[in-house]
Structure 1
Amino acid sequence: MAELRKEQSDVQFAVGDIYLGKVKKIMPGLNAAFVDVGYEKDAFLHYLDLGPQIRSLQKYVSMAAAKKGVIALHKLKPESDINKNGTISDVLTSGQDVLVQVAKEPISTKGPRLTSEISIAGRNLILIPFSDRVSVSQKIEQPEERNRLKRLLLSIKPKNYGVIIRTVAEGKRVAELDKELRALVKRWEESALKIKETKAPGLVMGEIGRTTAFLRDLFNPSFQAVYVNNKSVFNEVRDYVEIIAPGREKIVKYHEGTVPLFDQFGIEKQLKASFGKTVSFRSGAYLIIEHTEALHVIDVNSGNRSKSSSSQENNALDVNMAAADEIARQLRLRDMGGIIVVDFIDMQDQEHRQKLFDRMKEAMATDRTKHNILPLSKFGLMQITRQRVRPELHIETTETCPSCLGTGIVAPSILFTEKIEQALRFAVQKQKIKKLTLWVHPYLHAFLKKGFPSTIFKWRWEHGFGVKVLPSDSLVFLEFKITDHNNKKVDLS
């Protein structure tokens, strides 16, 4: 498992959302303003995040609020750019409406971080209204291709729109890029129409569906399969893949069957092993990962490694090199951001220290999140910064005991099968469920199948052949759940 995203479907204030906010307070000391966008805490907008064309944006917003119909941005006479060394009070006043975009989701005790430099992301291009610049991703290295794309976009883009050409645009034809550019301009104009109807604070344009946005940024020709376990999301994903990669929509597969998707591919087991304070990675070596308000700390331990290297220095290098790979994986997996300090095992040889630094940079090269790595300090510490735009993913790997509910006292285990049978009887007789599935821990499943006639056989005989018993890795030892024919959990309370 390389990456994991876990998001609530009803979450607000996602990166990319555009709001009409109201300036609540100007803070000259911070050269920033606090803006009400409807979140419980006011969002933060710094002067440097206003963007040079903020005056043109404000003019456009006031015109959009007053007029009916679409205001063609290419006909707008732009205002002069603001001074990058100016002050917030020169541009904004308390009580003023301002169009803003979420740059960072609310994290910990902080509200969202905002920008007024609006950008609308597509598959190949990012559209920036009120700018006239065209820039090309640095990952496109060939000068001829960079110049081709830049000339191409300069010739087709409307006035007063800027464009950032993304890495995946490399080798793309003009027709495809022109089609996407028109779609992005249309999306901006449609959202501008909503400004008149929106009363601050209010959402003007939401980021496209989370699944679609994830594929937009991640999808590449190496993908062999995309499995989805929800029918409507499956249709959405397949339609999107058909647009961005015609002919490859067949790789999107709908997961059916009784075994949950995460169990089928061993994800549930990896979740339990990869998250938590201690992470093992090779031959007894392990990481200790601690989190504080200010930074994350990772300690590398060789553990009870039995491998005998030629020297302690070589042994330290071996463990540290393997740890670098695992740390790069963990940062991406947990989406850890901010400052990360890694305490590697001490090494005296300068060549070994340089090797470790190079390995860390190599391991982090595939991480799409903006990051910076410093060489080892004289104390053997490595400092890493990684951009944080959403809260770190936290998965609880320890669980409250389902048998004792944390009290430390359990009912006799010999009565556990009777407890399950009682629940089955309740579901069949009281809730009138004709076809149900009982999920239990794999060890318990093996116990219930033992002998002839087995316990499962007896239940089926007594309650009808609609009872199916299946193992689940996500359940703890003495835990069970019952689902109906639609795979919905039955309420046994």
Structure 2
Amino acid sequence: MSNELVINSTQEGSRIALMRDKSLVELHYDNDETKFQVGDIYLGVVRKVVPGLNAAFIDIGYEKDAFLHYLDLGPKVKSLLKFIKLAQGKHHKHVNESLKQFRLEPEIDKLGKINDVLKQNQKIMVQVVKEPISTKGPRLSCELSLAGRYLVLVPFSNTVNISKKITDAGERRRLLKLVNSIKPENFGVIIRTVAEGKEVSELDKDLRDLNLKWAEGVEKLKVAKPREKVIGEINRATSMLRDILNESFDSITVDDKDAYEEIRRFILQIAPDKAGIVKFYSGKAKLFEHFGIEKQLKTLFGQTVSLGSGGYLVIEHTEALHVIDVNSGNKSNAENNQEATAFNVNIEAATEIARQLRLRDMGGIIVIDFIDMKKAEHKQKLYQHMKAEMKADRSKHTVLPLSKFGLVQITRQRVRPELSIVTKEKCPTCNGTGKITASIAIADQIETEIMHLMENQNDHKIKVGVHPYLFSYFTGGFPSRRMKWFFKHFKWIKIFEDSSLGLSEYKFFDHHDEEISLK
């Protein structure tokens, strides 16, 4: 199984696609709008304490106040508040990143009240655990943690915990002993699954990097104003690489030189032996077009998703939950055995559903209406297959067995807004009115514009992006229409296909790849 990361830079930011065996499984956007990412730590201000909810609303600079529940304060919140007060006080120069001399405060009561801990207008360091979704502001926690490649550093704690996915008892003992010997005082550590089998030198380097990140945050905290970010999560692409980079990664392709250099430096830091898989793309076609991602985006985000066998999924979203209906389609005519048909379509649907949940980042409650099956053996196999397909999902999730009505319920952690891509395009010719002028004339219109540019534009390297159908029309045959233009004006027009354009859309570019306005 091969994994590829494709990073496309645009004017709005970056698009990051994770491919598994050439199929798109995750899509992320990294731009100016992706503020308040999971992992960011801010110096917030308590705006309102609500005893009825046992929660507080914190101002961290978002348009809506963020939500902080009492249970998310963490037992060591009093130590955190004391540290903030010292770091921002008159003698802040004597405060450093080391907590060795810092005296921890008693833990708070698990069943306590938030108004006993927080007061209005109080400053507090908080970490984003859920990004703003719909009309809600970010969800916050005061249990700060800094994630590294192998370890997670937890200030104001002394415990060492280890991932439950590391099941070998001997390896668990080895890792606990190693980390206890190198961890700084008053810092807790969580050992991640990828730390299994790693040497102490690798773990120590990761821990030192996290300590340095904490130290930089402490220095920022000393002079930070309310609502300022104190410690920022690395960008979306590098955070993905930190969490999922493994031996199955074949390539990381980037089309921006600065992003290429940044990712290469990051890979050299965390996995030097993998530096060779980072590639800079300088091809003529657009990066997502070259990898076939643009086409997948258009076919995977609709309300109906087709299956290879002829079946299909219908995905509906409501305020409370997501509903997915599995249909056999024309598959029902291919087999005589109704039970076998239902089982085969359900198995294929389960694989695609697991992919869709990751791709769209659907969270909350998901209810799947599989095709009814009578055999208990088939129901059990489908349940086990659904669980196995969901194992690759990095979000926390729970899969329940089939109910007697043939429904499977899944809960999936939601920390970011659901990704939605519009797959139904407004007709660019009629602008959604339903009435158009003769669409057959679009080729003539493009040709007229090309003639005008060739006769009046001094630029000899004009490029035009068109829909794939029009690309075939202009370049097919011998002599093609493009050749005829060349024989007439002795200027070669470069035409490239862009499936993101509608049939009657087109764009002209000069030799600097800047769009030529025709108005």
What is residue 420 of structure 1 aligned with on the other side?
446
Matched letter for residue 333 of structure 1:
L
* Change beyond 3 A, Cα 1:427–1:99: farther
* Change beyond 3 A, Cα 1:18–1:490: farther
Is the contact between residue 309 and residue 345 of structure 2 (CA under 8 Å) also seen in structure 1?
A: no
Is the contact between residue 324 and residue 367 of structure 2 (CA under 8 Å) also seen in structure 1?
A: yes
Tell which deviates more after alignment, 267-276 or 33-42. Answer: 267-276
What is residue 18 of structure 2 aligned with on the other side?
none
What is residue 167 of structure 2 aligned with on the other side?
141
1:80 aligns with 2:106: yes
Tell which deviates more after alignment, 313-322 or 54-63. Answer: 313-322
Q: 50, 64, 68: which is aligned to 2:93? A: 68
Deviations 1:259-287 (A, max 9, x none): 11111111111111111100011322100
* Change beyond 3 A, Cα 1:3–1:451: closer
Deviations 1:214-241 (A, max 9, x none): 1111111111111111111111111111
* Change beyond 3 A, Cα 1:466–1:102: farther
What is residue 9 of structure 1 aligned with on the other side?
31
Matched letter for residue 251 of structure 2:
A
Report the CA distance between 1:146 and its aligned residue. 1.0
1:445 aligns with 2:491: no
* Change beyond 3 A, Cα 1:180–1:440: same
For the residues of structure 1 that align with 2:339 and 2:351, how far apart are their CA atoms?
A: 19
Q: 258, 270, 276: which is aligned to 1:244? A: 270
Matched letter for residue 12 of structure 1:
K
What is residue 29 of structure 1 aligned with on the other side?
52
What is residue 256 of structure 1 aligned with on the other side?
282
Is the contact between residue 49 and residue 55 of structure 2 (CA under 8 Å) also seen in structure 1?
A: yes
Report the CA distance between 1:488 and its aligned residue. 4.0
For the residues of structure 1 that align with 2:41 and 2:489, how far apart are their CA atoms?
A: 55
Matched letter for residue 127 of structure 1:
L
For the residues of structure 2 that align with 1:364 and 1:490, how far apart are their CA atoms?
A: 47
TM-score, normalisation: structure 2: 0.91
For the residues of structure 2 that align with 1:455 and 1:430, how far apart are their CA atoms?
A: 20
**RMSD across aligned C-alpha pairs, in angstroms?**
1.9
Tell which deviates more after alignment, 49-58 or 166-175. Answer: 166-175
Tell which deviates more after alignment, 423-432 or 279-288. Answer: 423-432
Is the contact between residue 130 and residue 415 of structure 2 (CA under 8 Å) also seen in structure 1?
A: yes
Is the contact between residue 21 and residue 99 of structure 1 (CA under 8 Å) also seen in structure 2?
A: yes
* Change beyond 3 A, Cα 1:316–1:123: same
What is residue 100 of structure 1 aligned with on the other side?
126
Report the CA distance between 1:412 and its aligned residue. 2.7
Deviations 1:329-378 (A, max 9, x none): 11111111111011111223222222211111111111121100111122
**Gap regions ≥5 residues in structure 2:** 1-22
For the residues of structure 2 that align with 1:300 and 1:27, how far apart are their CA atoms?
A: 44
Tell which deviates more after alignment, 51-60 or 438-447. Answer: 438-447
What is residue 156 of structure 2 aligned with on the other side?
130
Is the contact between residue 427 and residue 492 of structure 1 (CA under 8 Å) also seen in structure 2?
A: no
* Change beyond 3 A, Cα 1:464–1:108: farther
Matched letter for residue 7 of structure 1:
Y
* Change beyond 3 A, Cα 1:484–1:84: farther
For the residues of structure 1 that align with 2:172 and 2:452, how far apart are their CA atoms?
A: 68
Report the CA distance between 1:457 and its aligned residue. 2.4
Tell which deviates more after alignment, 443-452 or 176-185. Answer: 443-452
Tell which deviates more after alignment, 79-88 or 199-208. Answer: 199-208
Q: 290, 302, 308: which is aligned to 2:316? A: 290
What is residue 208 of structure 1 aligned with on the other side?
234
What is residue 44 of structure 1 aligned with on the other side?
67
Is the contact between residue 300 and residue 323 of structure 1 (CA under 8 Å) also seen in structure 2?
A: yes
